[in-house]
């Protein structure tokens, strides 16, 4: 039985020595640990900022109202360009055939009517 108590006392003594050594080590390296934890804190804050910025970008890309508006504007521009092309071709054709004056007279008659 005494052997068991001796073993327990020995383990307890060694445990206290280890705790004392760890505490001594931590105290002697306090500045390094402080700097290290400060760096960790800065890294966590920076990570949160980056995460928030990425989330904002993803929201912008998901909503995409500007894409829809731009697509609509581009479609209208394409339609107007095609319309102008057709009008230009008609005007060139009318000029070539010499019927522009007659068309102008018809337009005037229709407006008067």
Give residue-wise pLDDT tens across range 19-75: 999 999 989 999 998 888 899 888 988 999 998 999 888 887 776 666 777 788 888
Average pLDDT score over residue span 72-89: 87
Six-digit token string for 41: 């804190």
**Burial category of 43 from C-beta neighbours within 10 Å (exposed 0-12, middle 13-18, buried 19 and up):** exposed
Domain boundaries, the chain: 74-113
Six-digit token string for 58: 């993803």
Kindly report whether the global pTM for this prediction surpasses the value 0.75: no
């Amino acid at each position: 039985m005494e052997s068991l108590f001796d073993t327990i006392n020995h383990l307890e003594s060694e445990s206290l020595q280890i705790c004392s050594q760890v505490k001594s080590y931590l105290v002697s390296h306090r500045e390094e640990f402080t700097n290290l934890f400060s760096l960790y804190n800065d890294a966590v804050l920076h990570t949160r900022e980056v995460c928030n910025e990425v989330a904002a970008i993803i929201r912008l890309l998901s909503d995409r109202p500007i894409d829809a508006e731009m697509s609509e504007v581009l479609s209208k521009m394409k339609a107007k360009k095609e319309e102008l092309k057709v009008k230009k071709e008609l005007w060139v054709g009318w000029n070539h055939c010499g019927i522009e004056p007659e068309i102008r007279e018809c337009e005037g008659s229709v407006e008067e009517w």
